[in-house]
Every structure is written in structure tokens, then in C-alpha cells.
Structure 1
């Protein structure tokens, strides 16, 4: 493990707020997977795939995918049961990983630069460990890898649901009691450390996305069953056997960037450093005053770290450009996501 570094700010496009990238439904193995495309703006862009977290969607990657479009030809998928994708039969890490693998194979774009946030981080670890032929580089943002102290997560409040038969019915009832505006605000407060970083446009888009969830009768069941599958994967990771996510992470060969927020309220803040220690070829960036979705809260800082990872991983003249050193507080990033250099050593 080593410290992540930042690509120069001037190599990013100007500040702007694109709308969510155009999406399309694709029938894959008998069900619909919804895919958003971020067209490349550079001639030598390489394929990338973005995987969202629990309760999220492909819209969570709008800003980061746009910032990286000069280097990456991006696609973001809605996992089964989330966003605009149809529900799945199983809501486990291996099942979601299988859908990601099938999409990469179906699209014919592999190997890809793979990105995962939270649940999507756990799924991406599984994909990178089990199918290294499909992954060029790996970027994990607050990955939901195993931790057992749920007192360090707001999600701990959901644990009683797992003990209730058909707890998804209770979740659906609770969902019906909350106005979409209230749910959007609660989701933002849980995921973002500094709400002033989220524009009114992005807040409205999040509200529109939650209204889509209200119209999906399967959403509550998908959420609860996915949370149950995630907790099961946590417990399994501390038992002998090949399905441990920590063992799978230790076998990842792809160059990897791990990003964590020191004000993450959903994943134990110790998980990101542990992930970077376990993955052999890893770089760690811990950000002060940042929450669970750094790609939404400080997208330019994350983009600069990704560009440095790509430069390190791609031989050629571009890899020789100077980079901002860790500890410089990411001057000029426009995100105000401060470095914690001591956490990356």
C-alpha cells in the first residue's frame, strides 16, 4: 500500500453540472438492466464501468464520469432491483457480481476500469478477484467490506429487520409513511458530510430518483434482501473458506485506488485503510470532512486521484506528468476535500 497522489487540477474540464447521463434498458439473461452511457470526449478513451451502492443508482456517478470522460468511455449500471433495473432472483454479493460480469461480457468492452461505491465496492472486489481478466484498474470508494461493529454505522438500525420474517413488508410500510422530500433529505444527511457541497440541481435529481423508487413495488424487498446479503457476506468473511471478501481482496492483481471519507456514517472508517492494506497493488486516499459518497461530494478530488492511478497504470509519456503530492490539501480542487496524509502511510 502507498499513498494516493493527485493529477494536476488543470487537466480536469471546467466546473459544470451535467444532467444525468442518457440511459437505456438492456435485456440481459431475461431481465432488464438499466445502463447510462457517458460518451468519451478523448480519442484514446478506455472503457470504464461504474457500480453504485445500496439504495443508490447509476446517477450517483454523473459528475465523476463526466470529469473522467477524456480518458474513460463510461457506463454505469443499475444493479437488479435498484434504479430502473428490474428485480433479481437473489440479492447477494456473488449474484450482483455475476450481473456485472455478464454485462461486461455482453457489452464486449472488457477489460474495464472498474469503479464501486459502498455495496458496489464489495461487488467490484468480488469481480476483480474472481475475474481478473475483466478488470484493468479498480477504484473503491467507501467499499462495504466486512466489519462487525454495526454501532459504527447508521445501517445498524436496520439489523432488527433481518430477524423479522418478511421484514421487507415493514420496510415498505415505513417507506410509505415518508414523503419523498423527507426521504431525500435523510439520504443526503446519511451519505454526505457537508450538504453545502451538493447543488440544488443534484438535490432535485435525488428527489426525482426517490420518486422512481416509490413507483417500484419491489424496491423495499430489494433493499432489505440486499442488506441481508451484505451482512451475511460480512459474517462469512470471518469464517474459513474461499468466499471471504477479505481473502478475495488479497488476491486482486489490478492496480487499485481506495478512497475513504473520515466522516463516513455508513461504513466503518477503518475499512478503507484495511482494504488498501489487503490489496497488494493499492493506493489509499483518506479525506477529512467527507462522507460516504466522495464521488458525489468531492468529485474533482476523486477524479484527480483516478487520473493519477491511470497514469501510473498506463506506460507512456503521459505517466511522466507532475502530480500534486499527498499532504498538499488538494489546492485548487474546488471540492474542499482535505487530505489526511498520515492515514495513507
Structure 2
């Protein structure tokens, strides 16, 4: 296991792939750890993939309350510690918001971005407050079935491995999950994202209940020249539900902008 020491504690990360291959940073969604990318990375050869557990998720320390910019600072530190020169970042959901923030504030570190199932603003302050209140009073398991319905298309929800993703959510630290909800409630990246001027691929799922395709499309429209693609029969986590289709969408973009 690999760790990066941060002012708030220990950040867990993992590197896979040849040392001389193009580096791609992968940022996870709310309620998942770096295993989110396992199936997709099995379909994406020829890269040096760096994954991490954000604060309060997976094997990383809790880290207290934070904003999206703080999570972006963690990724900046990870890039500086592990990579030479700018990298490509691929972020999903809150990971996509991290990617937007980092690309806007540290363009020296990011050469291109893949933004999957994300937006400049996700949900409302009221919706996140309601979710936090439910977790505080009834536990994180109380939201698990709702999350599964929003995350996955009906085809995937009928598969036995759905239980594994439900378990990942309910085993996430409740304080860590709540801290991320508070960061999402406060986040609005419209101005930052509208100022981006880097190659960008934006991906949506046609059955996404958390970030519907039209919301993701509107974010893509803010970035001049951004490409937009919808993956069929996929919800909020197309890298899980449709890893081959996800890889087929991403690989040409990575090849084009990796050097």
C-alpha cells in the first residue's frame, strides 16, 4: 500500500502500469473507494494509473470538514509527489468536481480532463442536508437502497454484484460521507469551469439518477471544444456497469492527449 502524508492525515493511493507510460489520475465518486475503477482499468492498457481514496473514504484518514478545493489540493500534492509534468485527470461525480476545480486552479498540473457523470453543481443544499440528517439519525444503511437506484440502470440492479456496491456504501465512514455531502452542498463551479481551456471529454449515462445526462451535457457546454458522449444502459457509474464501453470512449481521448 502507498500513502501520502497530508496535514489532515494519511491519504491512501495506488499506482498501476509502466513507470514510463502516460499518467492518468482517477478520482472516485461519493461513497466509493479506489476499487471503483477496477473493471475499467482492466480494459485500458498502456497508461500509468494513479488512484486514491479521498478523505473519509477507503483507507484514507477522515480529515475533518473540507471543501472541493481542499480535495483538489490533495490531488495536486499527489501529482507533485508521484509524477513529472502535467497529467490527465479522470474524475467521476464528486471526483469530476475535484477535476474541474484542480484544472481551473492548477493548469500547470493538468493537460486534459475526462469528466464522468458530474456537473458544476450537483443536487441542492436542501437535498444534501436531508441526506445528512437521515444518516445522522438512522445510519448510512438507511440511504443505501436509494443510492443504488440512483447509481445503477435496471439491468445492473438485477445482477448479484449489486450487493457488493451496496456494501461499499454502507461500510463507508459516516463522518467521511457526511463531510463529502457538506462539500457538495456548498459547491458551485460554474465560473471556474466556464474558464477552462483544456481538452475535455465529458461522459454521461443514459440512466443516471444522480447526474442526469442533460445536467452533464450542460456542464460540457460551458467548456469550449469539450466532447460529450452518452453511454447506453448505464447509470451514475458507467465505469462499473459498462467498463468496455467506458474504456472505448476514453481510450482515443487518452491516446490523443497523453503526450
Structure 1 length as normaliser, TM-score? 0.67
Q: Give how far 1:251 is off.
A: 2.2
- Deviation per residue, 1:185-236 (Å, 9 max, x gap): 6543321113448864x546536635643xxxxx2222223212212113xx
Partner of 2:50: 75
Partner of 2:175: 221
Task: Find the aligned partners of 2:92 and 2:182 in 1 and give their Cα distance.
Answer: 18
Task: Verify: 1:139 aligned to 2:99, yes or no.
Answer: no
Partner of 2:238: 294
- Deviation per residue, 1:78-124 (Å, 9 max, x gap): 10011111011332111111111111112234411101000110110
| Aligned partners of 2:204 and 2:212 also within 8 Å | no
Partner of 2:255: 311
Give the paired residue count: 259
Q: Give how far 1:176 is off.
A: 6.5
Q: Give how far 1:26 is off.
A: 3.4
| Aligned partners of 1:132 and 1:253 also within 8 Å | no
Go from structure 1 to structure 2 and tell me whether the alpha carbon gap of 1:114 and 1:199 turns closer, same or farther (over 3 Å shift): farther
Where do 5+ consecutive residues of structure 1 fail to align? 1-22, 214-218, 235-244, 316-345
Task: Find the aligned partners of 2:212 and 2:5 in 1 and give their Cα distance.
Answer: 36
- Deviation per residue, 1:105-154 (Å, 9 max, x gap): 12234411101000110110001111111112210111142256x5xxxx
Go from structure 1 to structure 2 and tell me whether the alpha carbon gap of 1:133 and 1:171 turns closer, same or farther (over 3 Å shift): same
Where do 5+ consecutive residues of structure 2 fail to align? none
Partner of 2:38: 62
Task: Find the aligned partners of 2:235 and 2:166 in 1 and give their Cα distance.
Answer: 19
Task: Find the aligned partners of 1:123 and 1:44 in 2 and give their Cα distance.
Answer: 25
Partner of 2:27: 51
Task: Verify: 1:191 aligned to 2:151, yes or no.
Answer: yes
| Aligned partners of 1:197 and 1:297 also within 8 Å | no
Task: Verify: 1:282 aligned to 2:246, yes or no.
Answer: no
* DSSP-derived class of the 1:133 partner: coil
Go from structure 1 to structure 2 and tell me whether the alpha carbon gap of 1:226 and 1:211 turns closer, same or farther (over 3 Å shift): closer
* DSSP-derived class of the 1:281 partner: coil
Larger-Rg structure: 1
| Aligned partners of 1:129 and 1:252 also within 8 Å | yes
* DSSP-derived class of the 2:204 partner: strand
